[in-house]
Amino acid sequence: MDNIVQSIKKLSFLKFQKRLPEYKRFLFEKVQRSRSKIVGIYGGRGAGKTTLLLQLSKSMDCNLGKMLYVACDHPLMQGVSLFELIEYFYSKGGQVVIIDEIHESEDFERNLKAVYDFLDIKIFFSGSSAIKLTNPDFARRYAMFHLPILSFREFIELETGLKLKSYILNDIIEQHENIVYEILTTLKEYKVLELFDLYLNYGAYPLYFEDRENYLQKLVDTINITLHTDLSSIFQIQADKIDAIKKLLVEICRAKPLEVSIEKLSNLVGLTKATLYKYLDYLQKGELLVLVRHEAKRFKSIRKPDKLYLANPNFFNVLCLNQERGTIRETFFVSQVKHLHTIFYPNRGDFLVDEKYIFEIGGRKKGFGQIKDIENSFVVADDLEIGSGNKIPLWLFGFLY
């Protein structure tokens, strides 16, 4: 074990010396303030989990020699017990261990529980969003934080260097005109609708700011790694089924959210309905897909289809050529709102949020006909810089975090 730890220490030193972005995601301070002995950051590939972990390591008042960075997908970790590794490092005076891609470590849940029960050492770990749901003990024992895609607000900050506030949903609904004026005043010469179009195409992941020219290829790589490495290992998906799952994503990209039935999808991709439901669940856990259920499913089992959305608007650029603007609008809304709020679809209107607000999504000329006389109902309009009354600009929902 001594040789393995020394080798990992060398890699740790190189990792800790890596130059990091100055910009910190909205989650940084929340994680930094956590007093839990073990802190987990979960999310989709490419969201910036590793960068966040390393930024946390630099912010800690701890000697570098007392810290260890462990990349569970590194060949050195093949066949190594995570508990034995941390126990050995702890016995030599180690105080902090940062574990990246923890889902790549065999039996990581049992090993992490043993660390929690027997060792007095601070642990930060990152992993696929799917690990959050594999064991309910995660939520009980550890402080778990979800790192989603970049919000539109964060994208603007990275693109312009400006500092912008986030707003709670209730304030956006009640004070959207004042908030918009505040944002536009801060943006000065920048045009919010131009930035919004850029975000819809390229703004969901920090990868864009690392390598703009190859962003779309990196997006393809992100999807492939999520399927071939994360989901296949966590859920034991057979390699020959991955192509069917990719085809499933493409078909969802091409269709409107309620246009393709489960029966039709099952025939198109060559999967039984039972297997299809299972894979849809995996894709949602891997943050490649979002399922929005009908509001009645909150209370009882009914035969209502789910709305199927790609996890973010950028995926349209790499999964299909024919892009429906209406679907992209709804995809953006869902991707920004679901991180902090519950979301269903009702009989009238497009979305029911927090079991209280009805939102109808459309273009700038969208009217209130479909949600007329519904309490707490709002039109969310694309291509609109400033709203009025119950008509709110779509882009503003990118300022929730």
Q: Per-residue pLDDT tens, the chain, 401 aa: give them.
A: 999 999 999 999 999 999 999 999 999 999 999 999 999 999 999 999 999 999 999 999 899 899 999 999 999 999 999 999 999 999 999 999 999 999 999 999 999 999 999 999 999 999 998 886 566 776 678 999 999 999 999 999 999 999 999 999 999 999 999 999 999 999 999 999 999 999 999 999 999 999 999 999 999 999 999 999 999 988 999 888 999 999 999 999 998 888 778 888 999 898 999 999 999 999 999 999 999 999 987 766 666 788 999 999 999 999 998 789 999 999 999 999 999 999 999 999 999 999 999 999 999 999 999 999 999 999 999 999 999 999 999 999 999 99
Burial class (CB in 10 A: 0-12, 13-18, 19+), 246: middle
- pTM value is 0.93
φ and ψ at residue 136, rounded to 5 degrees: -65, -20
Q: Which residues of 8-46 are buried (b: 16+ CB within 10 A; e: fewer)?
A: bbeebeebbeeeeeeebbbbbeebeebeeebbbbbbbbb
pLDDT at 222: 96
Q: What tokens were used for 306?
A: 């789910």
pLDDT at 134: 61
pLDDT at 280: 95
Q: Within 13 A of 313's CA, how many CA atoms are on the CB side?
A: 27
pLDDT at 135: 67
User: CA of 84: how far to CAs of 88, 110, 115, 377, in Å?
Assistant: 6, 12, 9, 56
C-alpha dihedral, 179 to 183 to 205 to 231, nearest 10°: 0
Q: What tokens were used for 85?
A: 């590794």
DSSP of 225-282, one letter per residue?
Answer: HIIIIIIHHHTT--HHHHHHHHHHHHHHHHS-TTTS-HHHHHHHHT--HHHHHHHHHH
**In sequence order, what are the beta bridge partners of 125?**
40, 99
pLDDT at 291: 95
Q: What tokens were used for 150?
A: 């970049």
- Cα–Cα distance for residue pair 149/82, rounded to 1 Å: 29
Residue type, 241: K
| Alpha-carbon dihedral sign for residues 326, 327, 330, 335 | negative
> Which secondary structure element, helix H or strand E, spans residue 71, and what is its range?
strand 67-71
φ and ψ at residue 162, rounded to 5 degrees: -85, 160
- Cα–Cα distance for residue pair 269/183, rounded to 1 Å: 45
DSSP of 289-307, one letter per residue?
Answer: EEEE-BGGGGTS----PPE
Angle (nearest 5°) at CA 114 between 108 and 118: 150
C-alpha distance across the termini of the chain, in Å: 43
